[in-house]
Amino acid sequence: MIVLALIAAAFMNGDWLAVMAHTQMYFDGGHQPAQLSHHRPRLSCSSFFDEFKVQLFWAMVVGYGIYFGFCGYLEWKYYVKGRGKEAQWKCQPNRHLPRHLVWDQIKWGCIGLMVTNAVSAAVATHVSCGGYSKVYTGFGQYPWWWWILQWPVIFFQQDYVTYWIHRSFHSKFLFKHFHSIHHRYFQPTPWSVTAIHPLELTTVQLAMVLPIFIYPVHWFPFYGLALYTYYHGIVQHSGIAFKAQWWQPWQPDCMFHDNHHQYCHVNYGFNCSIWDKIHGSMRKIDRCYSEHTDSWGSGRPLADLSSKERHREIQERITENPMAYREQFNPYLLKDVDGDVE
């Protein structure tokens, strides 16, 4: 299962094209320690547009094949074969996305995938044609301490920037006109991973590419982390109760982002929950969250709810699968107005 997800992450968004370009440069001489210049050996590239068309074609063929193949596999394995056993695997076991919204997210997912593949093809073409970047291919071109240090530097920079992009798209204007498309899916499924407005998706992807133009990055850590990010993007949008591994203390479980879709203006982080903790957008037991509460993640105090609203909030929290939490119980359960624990 993990192997399939990693393959999907590697090929679905088209970044494998840039990996191939950098690999070719490595074997064409870019691995020599003495080669410290950022002027790349120019590969066979008669014109940017012609090269871009080739890169885009293969990005689309492979990307859509992986999208329908892997997402279709998860759909079959869990949403079809696991029907009636949702309590064992689903984050919201008693709720399913309406069929028309499933088709809607596939439509927007295909549009989003076209955008991400186009951006990836453009970056790969830029690299193939000898364009400027700070990516280096030789292990000895910079000190080894920097090769090790750049892993967390790239990871935390990308995750922190995307946290703020995501949170910004929850502001009233951007949410209404762009991000609300992604939040039609209160019960996300694997198909929703790229079901995002093209403008937002382009903004996020450009932020992910930003490091290669700012400071020296070796191609292996950069694309290795891209693989990690895309893998968890698929997992977090699956609606399936996947949990982080023991060696990932920074990584929230799938339920963290599922809460975001269920309650909207909360839990904006992707691969780190610490940003939400620092900036006050982490879900709290004494707060109510919905599309109509504060868009910056502070929620509405439970003390301000009427008896009817509190009861509705209690019922909403009951729909969460306690087995999807790492502790295997729901830490957000409340007592009803009569004092009974729901």
pLDDT tens for each residue of 164-190: 999 999 999 999 999 999 999 999 999
Phi-psi map region of 100: left, alpha, beta (phi>0 left; psi -120 to 50 alpha): alpha
> Which parts of 211-286 are beta strand (E)?
217-218
Tokens of 334: 């409340």
The overall pTM is greater than 0.75: yes
Rg for the chain (alpha carbons), in Å? 22
The confidence band for 54, taking pLDDT boundaries of 50, 70 and 90, is confident
pLDDT at 18 over 80: no
pLDDT at 339 over 90: no
Indicate the average pLDDT of the chain: 88
**Average pLDDT estimate for 13-37:** 53
Contact between residue 265 and residue 99 where contact means Cβ atoms under 8 Å apart: no
pLDDT at 88 over 90: yes
Which helix or strand (DSSP H or E) is residue 229 part of? helix 219-236
Tokens of 168: 């910004």
* Total Cβ atoms within 10 A of residue 82: 14
Residue 180 DSSP class: G
Span between the terminal Cα atoms of the chain, in Å: 35
What is the distance between the alpha carbons of residues 149 and 156, in angstroms, rounded to a whole number? 11
83 CA to centre of own chain: 26
The confidence band for 26, taking pLDDT boundaries of 50, 70 and 90, is low
What is the distance between the alpha carbons of residues 341 and 109, in angstroms, rounded to a whole number? 40
For residue 300, report the phi and psi dihedrals to the nearest 5 degrees. Answer: -120, 130
Given this model, what pLDDT does residue 340 score? 46
The confidence band for 36, taking pLDDT boundaries of 50, 70 and 90, is very low
Given this model, what pLDDT does residue 128 score? 78
